Structure 1
Amino acid sequence: MRANSLAFRLVVGAAMWIAAAIVAGGIVLSAVFRDHVERSFDTQLLVYLDVLVSVTEVDDRGHVVIMRPLGDPRYEQPYSGWYWQISSISGPMLRSRSLWDQALTPDFGLIRDSAATSYRMQGAQSRHLRIVGRDVSIPGIVSSLQFAVTGDRAAIEVEIQNFNTTLAWSLGLFGCGLVLAVFIQVRFGLLPLRRISRALSAIRSGRKSRLAGQFPSEIEPLASEINTLLEHNEEVLERARTHVGNLAHALKTPISILANESESGKGSLAEKVDKQTGIMRRYVDHYLSQARTAASSSVLGARTEVLPVIEDLRRTLKHIHAERSIELEVRGDPGTSFRGERHDLEEMLGNLIDNACKWARARTWITMGMEGADLKIVIEDDGPGLAPEKHGEVFNRGHRLDEATPGSGLGLAIVRDTAGLYGGDIALCESDFGGLKVVLTLPAAEKREAQEAGKESTEEDPVT
């Protein structure tokens, strides 16, 4: 999943919201639990406070006495944090054994009327205490007494800490589960877009001509617009081909008339007309071919197997050069295909192989294969070769290095222009066999095995 992908943005955005919600929820739950624990703790202390009040009496001598213990051994254990104390305005009167030689110093200002009040305070040995107190009037005592009962907050702090730890692990796992669920949902929800991507790849490689299948209602308009665009593109290209054909017919007819008239005539004027009509015919053929190629290179889905084209050209050229007994050897991967129109491949290879046969002494080699996403076709001969400083000149239109050899001088220029329209290239170098080596690079189409696998994958993928 790439950082700039739609899936990455959706998952990261959802993860951020989930993390924020979980943190906020964890804080709220922890606060609610803390309040609940403190209330429960205060309720327990209030019970001890009521028991303390109930067991407090005044004896015959007017002294405040405790009739019986509270029943919790922690009030007997020194410095346990669980204390009770009865105080008057003048100071402590009675206190639990757990206080030992210490005394509680509650804020009597918070103990008013007869209501129980709870708050935090610092106790003996720096213990953090939770204290509840009440101002109680006892018969036989002129002024009211302050009853206070404390409990060690360490007990509730441990309980709260355990809860927070469990809460953190639980919410963490819950958040990871939600993020995983969002990831799965996003991947599943974006399956139709990946299907469109594969379908477009199938159209470009020639497996299909349209986006086929059922798509979700949100994607259906996009698929429909793409199909409409493909149909419009085909219509425009078909009209362009028709206009090119009409133009070819309109130009070739008068040129043919001029050529016929010049052949029947005599003199320097007839020779000039014949020469110029020949030049006109070559350039018309060249630029009409370029126009057809420009239209063909824009067609999506064009695919041509290379081996059948080479075999057809080999049979034709062996017949043309039969008197020289030129051998044409074909090597390489027979499954390679060109992503383009057949007649363009025929024109490029026809020019190159014909040139190789013209200059070869006895043999020409044709090697085809894949190199990444490119199709490489190498044509070599055992002829005299070509000096490196002449490699650039042969691509000039109408330029011929040897006037004795038949040709128009446009062949290599046509091959270079046609290959360039397809995003390809042509290069010349010295062959290991002594002659010239021509390397033609063109866009490759997928092999049949990959196409069938891609087709099955596309058909099996869910789209809704």
Structure 2
Amino acid sequence: MALPDEESHSTAEAQPGSPWLRKGSIAASLFWLTAGWLVVALLATGFLLTDLYSRALDTTLSQTLDFHVEGLAGILLEAGDPRDPGIALADPRFDRPRSGWYWIIRDGDGNLVNLSLSVVGIDLPSLSGPLDSDGRRTGVLTDAFDTQLRVIERSVTLGGEIYRIEVAGNLTEILGLVRDFRGQAFIVLGAVGAMLAIMSVIVARFALRPIGRLSAAIERVREGENTEITGDYPTEIAPLAEEVNELLRSNAQIIERARNQVGNLAHGLKTPIAVLRNEAGAGQGALAEVVQTETNKMSAMVSTYLERARLAARTSVVGKKADASAIMLRLTRVMRKIHPDIAIELEQAEAALPWFRGDEADLEEMAGNLLDNACKWSKGVVGVQLRGERSAKGANLLIRIEDDGPGLSEEDARKVLRRGVRLDEKTPGTGLGLDIVKELVDVYGGSLELKRSRLGGLLVELRLPTARLGGLVRPVSA
């Protein structure tokens, strides 16, 4: 199989804003906070503008009515007779029936003396309540046509008698203008709010783009594309990038020191244990047997924990990945030479098989042990499959190895994964192969399952984490 070049492994840089409005993101929080504040602010602005407009129209109406009251009072004083039919205002609305614009002159007892043509046939109620210091009063009435009226009344003394001049204007028209203005204002403010919301989306997207680039850079380090975070970042997050790089360097140093110290401790213990074992082996008696037994246990424990430390240190290194297709093809060829009587069938891999996120040697150790074990127990056929799968926990690399051997029961499958357990001592081996596999699987956060194969023997399913930025591979052909 021809391995792809490194350029084919790289994918387009992750878009920092996709999906940038997901729940819990900073951009989503900023957007909804801004949108909520815009809704409150624009609603308050709409009601405030409507109230100001309503006040302005009502004030204008009142001033107009005052003007007509003064004009009617002047005409009345000039005519000298409140019953003069020539008394009239120039505004044609006072001559139009049901216009909502009326004027009436009453005597001191409230009897009708004179009126506008628009009042003919209408029983218009009078205002009640005390007069103000200027001898006038104002209020709101409703005529016979359910039209709301703004009414201003003023008292005039003529020939020793008191007359009341009442002028009414159409308040319903004003309220209609206010409603129209409110609707138009909220349409305009809604459009402004939509534009501001779009602007907040654009601002949040561009303002948070460096965070997305930093996240993508960290992901490239984790997936093995880079060994440290690179790129230029704003002053607000540049210290974070540097701290992450420093953490990576510090982690690598700590791992190296821990590995060296564990190695030194293990090698330092090996010599005294070997001396004790040799001395006990040369002696006789119960004490020598006890010392021999315990030193053997101590030696096995030192070797075990030294191997665990080596595996943990190796798999803790960030930024490693391996081509599973190439490794399995290489292992298959090796096993065919070691077991020439076994037909090993490697199924053609997917065209875009994900890479293993970890050390190549670890994948070889896990897959090699499992494949070798299948060949040892097989009657003649071993099948190997590689595929990518996606679960609720994320993407996985699935390696399936099955044989046509005797297989295992569910109880034996559980037992065989215990350290050093062997179900058949006649087959060569120490029983530690699956122990190493299980140890590495646990370190990488993967899973190992033993099932019944369709070939009649054992089916081993090995699931391992994938390198998300790993490249595409060409179909594998064995």
Q: TM-score, normalised by structure 1?
A: 0.81
> Residue 411 of structure 1 aligns with which residue?
433
Higher relative contact order, chain-length normalized (CA < 8 Å, sep 6+)? 2
Q: Is 1:19 matched with 2:39?
A: yes
1:338 Cα offset (Å): 1.7
The equivalent position to 2:89 in structure 1, one of 45, 48, 70, is: 70
> Residue 235 of structure 1 aligns with which residue?
253
Is contact 1:95-1:103 (8 Å) kept? no
Q: Quick one: percent identity of the two aligned structures?
A: 36
Once residues 277 and 319 of structure 1 are traced to their aligned partners in structure 2, the CA distance between those partners, rounded to angstroms, is 39
Is contact 2:79-2:87 (8 Å) kept? no
Q: Is 1:134 matched with 2:163?
A: no
Once residues 354 and 144 of structure 2 are traced to their aligned partners in structure 1, the CA distance between those partners, rounded to angstroms, is 91
RMSD: 3.7
Is contact 2:223-2:469 (8 Å) kept? no
The code of the aligned residue for 1:69 comes to A
SS in structure 1 at match of 2:113: strand
Once residues 288 and 2 of structure 1 are traced to their aligned partners in structure 2, the CA distance between those partners, rounded to angstroms, is 45
> Residue 214 of structure 1 aligns with which residue?
232
Q: Is 1:331 matched with 2:347?
A: yes
> Residue 28 of structure 1 aligns with which residue?
48
Is contact 1:369-1:377 (8 Å) kept? yes
The count of aligned residue pairs is 444
Is contact 2:130-2:137 (8 Å) kept? no
> Residue 369 of structure 1 aligns with which residue?
387
SS in structure 2 at match of 1:52: helix
1:159 Cα offset (Å): 1.4
**Cα deviation digits, residues 80-102 of structure 1 (max 9, x gap):** 43221233324443222322254
Q: How does 1:61-460 map onto structure 2 within 5 Å?
A: 65=84, 67=86, 69-91=88-110, 92-100=112-120, 102=123, 105-107=126-128, 109-110=130-131, 112-113=133-134, 118-138=138-158, 141-247=159-265, 249-250=267-268, 284-321=302-339, 324-333=340-349, 335-372=353-390, 373-446=395-468, 448-449=470-471
The equivalent position to 2:72 in structure 1, one of 52, 61, 76, is: 52
Deviates more, 1:201-210 or 1:3-12: 3-12
> Residue 460 of structure 1 aligns with which residue?
none
Query: What 5-or-longer segments of structure 2 have no aligned partner?
Result: 1-20, 474-478
Once residues 201 and 227 of structure 1 are traced to their aligned partners in structure 2, the CA distance between those partners, rounded to angstroms, is 13
SS in structure 2 at match of 1:213: coil
Once residues 386 and 337 of structure 1 are traced to their aligned partners in structure 2, the CA distance between those partners, rounded to angstroms, is 30
> Residue 57 of structure 2 aligns with which residue?
37
Once residues 397 and 63 of structure 1 are traced to their aligned partners in structure 2, the CA distance between those partners, rounded to angstroms, is 121
Residues 392/63 of structure 1: CA separation in 2 closer, same or farther (3 Å cut): closer
Residues 242/64 of structure 1: CA separation in 2 closer, same or farther (3 Å cut): same
Residues 341/90 of structure 1: CA separation in 2 closer, same or farther (3 Å cut): same
Is contact 1:282-1:408 (8 Å) kept? no
**Cα deviation digits, residues 17-74 of structure 1 (max 9, x gap):** 22222222222211111111112222332333343233335669x6753545323333
Once residues 362 and 20 of structure 1 are traced to their aligned partners in structure 2, the CA distance between those partners, rounded to angstroms, is 76
The code of the aligned residue for 1:329 comes to E
Residues 254/432 of structure 1: CA separation in 2 closer, same or farther (3 Å cut): farther
Once residues 234 and 115 of structure 2 are traced to their aligned partners in structure 1, the CA distance between those partners, rounded to angstroms, is 78
> Residue 476 of structure 2 aligns with which residue?
none
Once residues 440 and 409 of structure 2 are traced to their aligned partners in structure 1, the CA distance between those partners, rounded to angstroms, is 24
Once residues 284 and 402 of structure 2 are traced to their aligned partners in structure 1, the CA distance between those partners, rounded to angstroms, is 44
Residues 340/389 of structure 1: CA separation in 2 closer, same or farther (3 Å cut): same
> Residue 458 of structure 1 aligns with which residue?
none
1:255 Cα offset (Å): 7.3
**Cα deviation digits, residues 228-251 of structure 1 (max 9, x gap):** 222211111121222344345445
Residues 244/379 of structure 1: CA separation in 2 closer, same or farther (3 Å cut): farther
Is contact 1:85-1:104 (8 Å) kept? no
Residues 429/94 of structure 1: CA separation in 2 closer, same or farther (3 Å cut): closer
Once residues 293 and 308 of structure 2 are traced to their aligned partners in structure 1, the CA distance between those partners, rounded to angstroms, is 23
